[in-house]
Structure 1
Amino acid sequence: MRRALLLPLLLGACAPAVRPQPVQVWEGSARVLLTVQQYRLIFTVDPVSHALSGTLANLSSGDRFEAAGTLLPAGDAAELSAQVTPGNAPRLNAGILGFGISGVTFKSDAFLSGQVRGGLFDGSLRVNGVRYPLTLRRVQ
């Protein structure tokens, strides 16, 4: 009986310690169509897999999007690439006389990519095939 209790204890001691992932907060702006939009990117990065997960908020419109991708080290900088999706945004389901559409979101997916150097992100936000330059500064 004692050996049965000792084995899980020993195996648990061999497991790697879980380290909390620091939350990064970045803010900045992009010129989308004719207006300047303010953005906030909040994310964490897994130090082993370099997987990024978080949210991209458009502060000008109040919209929030989910962001998932990678932050890969590249010399003295890092390459950030993330798919940005509306997540659980409202979806349109409509039909007339048996024809219709289902599950169409009101917001488009986007792709965020660029380079992080120090406290500055310089990149772009690609929405519906159009690239908009985006600059963010780290605030936390």
Structure 2
Amino acid sequence: MKRLLPVALLLAACAPAARPQPVQVWEGSARVLLTVQQYRLTFTVNPVSHALSGTLTNLSSGDRFEATGTLLPASDGAELTAQVSPGSAPRLNAGILGFGVSGVSVKADALLSGRITADGFLGSLRVNGVRSALTLRRVQ
């Protein structure tokens, strides 16, 4: 057992160190129905698996959503695809005369997709089947 300890320490010293993932912050707007909404997308990307995780904040309403997906490299930038969910948003529980709903999220899930280039992010936010064009610029 004592002989294995120095070998284990040497192997641990040779292992690559975990590098912190840089946080990316993007801000912009989308026309949702008849109003323009301001958004902030904050995320990190695992450089090995290209897995994206972060938040999408609607700055106009103050709502915050969890975003998970991928950021895949492309020839002139990257392709972003993320499922946006309300996470722990309030749930609706209502009933009348024994009929009703229970545990229904007040906020809807969405799909965020688009292309990141040197100029910014051009894509769409699809909520309940309705697609809204989304334009973001990198802040950090």
Counterpart of 1:127 in structure 2 is 127
- Unaligned stretches of 5+ residues in structure 1: none
Q: 1:98 to 1:6 in 2, by over 3 A?
A: farther
Supply the distance in 1 between the matched residues of 2:124 and 2:96 (Cα, whole angstroms).
39
**4+ residue stretches of structure 1 with deviation over 4 A?**
none
Question: 1:31-110 residue pairs with structure 2 within 5 A?
Answer: 31-110=31-110
- What is the deviation of 1:6? 1.7
| 1:10 aligned onto 2:14 | no
Q: Which amino acid aligns with 2:12?
A: G
* Pairwise CA distance, 1:97: 4.2
User: Which 5+ residue runs of structure 2 have no aligned equivalent?
Assistant: none
Measure how far apart 1:119 and its partner are: 4.2
Alpha-carbon distance in 1 for matches of 2:123, 2:108: 19
SS of match in other structure, 1:87: coil
Where does residue 136 of structure 1 map in the other structure? 136
Identical columns (%): 79
C-alpha distance in 2 between matches for 1:95 and 1:13 = 61
The letter for the 2-side match of 1:59 is L
Shift of 1:17: 1.3
* Count of aligned positions: 140
TM-score, with structure 2 as normaliser: 0.94
TM-score when normalising by structure 1: 0.94
